[in-house]
Each structure stands twice: as C-alpha cells, then as structure tokens.
Amino acid sequence: MHNRGSNKISSRIAQIRLVSSHPEVYEPCDDSFALVDALLADRSNLLEHRPTLCMEVGCGSGYVIASLALMLGEEVPGVQYIATDTNRCAVEVTHETLQAHGVHAELINTDIASGLEKRLAGLIDVMVVNPPYVPTPEDEVGREGIASAWAGGENGRRVIDKILPIADKLLSDRGWLYMVTLTTNNPSQICLQMREKGYASRIIVQRSTEEESLHIIKFWRDFGIKPDAKENVTVNRTAPARILDTLLSQVHWLSLKKSGTSNSS
C-alpha cells in the first residue's frame, strides 16, 4: 500500500495491508499517505506527548488509525483510540484492518462525533482527520456511500468547517489536531480561523501531485493567543487514563463490537 524507507517503524507501517475493501469505502490514497507521513515526521514529538486518547474522524479503510496505533505502539502504554465514520461499511473495513494488525480502536458509525461530544469534551490528545475536501456542488455533501469520502461542497470546506469547532470542543488543553487540506480549501484562512480559537499551527507536510496540492497542518493550543470568548462548555480536563471504557459503555449502541455492528439510527 505504501512504499517506505528502511527504519523499523516505517517498515511496520508499510506492512499495513489492505485486508478488506469495499466499493463504497475510500482506499488509502496520496492524502492518506501524506497524513501518515506527517504523523511519522512528528513521531518523536508524539511519543514525548504521551497521548491518552487519540481519535480519527472519517476513518475510511482504517489505514491512518492503524498506522497511528502501530507508530505509538508499546512506547506509549495505555493509549486508547477511537474512530468515527458516517459510512457504516468504512467502520466495518476499519475493524478488519485493525484486527489484522493486532491493534484496537473503538469504532463508531456517526457524523463527526455526534452522540460523543459531551462525553469526550476536552479529552482528546491527538485528533487526525483526512476530511472530504474536494470542491463539489453542495448537494453532493453527505450523500450515502463513497461520494461522502470526497464531496466537500463550496471550496471543499463544508465538512471541514463542521469539524473544526467540534475538534476545539473535544481537544484537551494539550490536544493536537492533524488535518489534511487542499490549496483550494484556503489553508491559511483555516489557520486564521483556528488562531481565533487560540490555536497555533504548522504545516508538517506539503505535497503536490498531478491532481492536487496537499497540506497536512498540525494545530495546537497556544495559550499566548487570546482566543475569542468561548461557548460555555463543560470539559473533562482531568479525566483519568482508562476513561474510554466508561465513556463508551454509555454509547455502546453506537459502537462496532466484535460480535457485529449497529449504528446510531
């Protein structure tokens, strides 16, 4: 799936196999690879960061969340993973990818973090997102199936603009967000928008293909920036490490369990 160099970690990531596929699920592509490359480039910081709870929004095949879990591996003990996707088939494929690589994440078939926002507020230390970013007619956004993997509406910003405020609510004080954007999405304006919420940003990977110019941007809270007045949200900034079990036991009806699947409907 992904040709890489010779170091040990990279070769483990390269071994991520497409164990399951589905015509309606996004296969890892340049954007997925660029996101994993950004995480690899930032790996030593991630290890030092010692995240407790990592989340992927829009997990597709599971390539990114499986890579992240392998990358942090045993070097960050106790880290837990959660991934969401609106596409039920994507949740199933992700489940198989994770299982085949001996890693685990709680998988939820939901829109961004719908049904989880209160419980996860202020708890996510690392969030990764490769959103649907392709400019399309507005009515293509959120359609069932594979189109939802890329359809981003005007300037490709429809889903991105929905994700950003939710990320702000879910990220912990030390939370980091890694997001794929396209030049057409106006990444500098996204950074400005996040700056108004109190985040600094940095481009970790910039890559141009024949079709698109991608930026993988990392956002983190910068307490030197005075954010706009925030909504009054209750956040769980001091929740204990093994929090996912408790949190997700309350939303088990949304979770993909080993015995089968169910969704929020």
Ligand X SMILES: C[S@@+](CC[C@H](N)C(=O)[O-])C[C@H]1O[C@@H](n2cnc3c(N)ncnc32)[C@H](O)[C@@H]1O
Q: Which of residues 171-190 bind ligand X (CB under 6 A)?
A: none
Token couple for 244 = 């996912």
Token couple for 101 = 């690589």
Spatial neighbors of 260 by CB under 8 A, at least 6 apart, are none
Token couple for 212 = 């698109």
**Binding window for ligand X (CB under 6 A); candidates: 55-63, 74-82, 187-195, 257-265:** 55-63
CB 1 → ligand X: shortest distance, Å?
Answer: 10
Number of residues that bind ligand X (CB under 6 A): 24
CB 20 → ligand X: shortest distance, Å?
Answer: 13
- For residues 61 and 42, what is the distance between their CA atoms, to the nearest angstrom? 22
Taking CB under 6 A as the rule, does residue 52 contact ligand X?
Answer: no
DSSP assignment of 167-191, as one string? HHHHEEEEEEEEEEEEGGG-HHHHH
In terms of CB distance, is 84 or 172 closer to ligand X?
A: 84
Taking CB under 6 A as the rule, does residue 134 contact ligand X?
Answer: no
Taking CB under 6 A as the rule, does residue 37 contact ligand X?
Answer: no
Which residue among 32, 52, 97, 181 contacts ligand X (CB under 6 A)?
Answer: 32
Q: Report the C-alpha dihedral over residues 112, 116, 120, 125, rounded to 10 degrees.
A: -30
In terms of CB distance, is 96 or 222 closer to ligand X?
A: 96
β-pairing verdict for 213-221 and 171-182: antiparallel
Q: Is 25 left (phi over 0), alpha (psi -120 to 50) or beta?
A: beta
* Stretch 64-83: interaction string toward ligand X, x if CB under 6 A: x-------------------
The residue ranges that bind ligand X (CB under 6 A) are 26, 28, 32, 35, 57-61, 63-64, 84-87, 90, 111-112, 130, 132, 148-150, 159
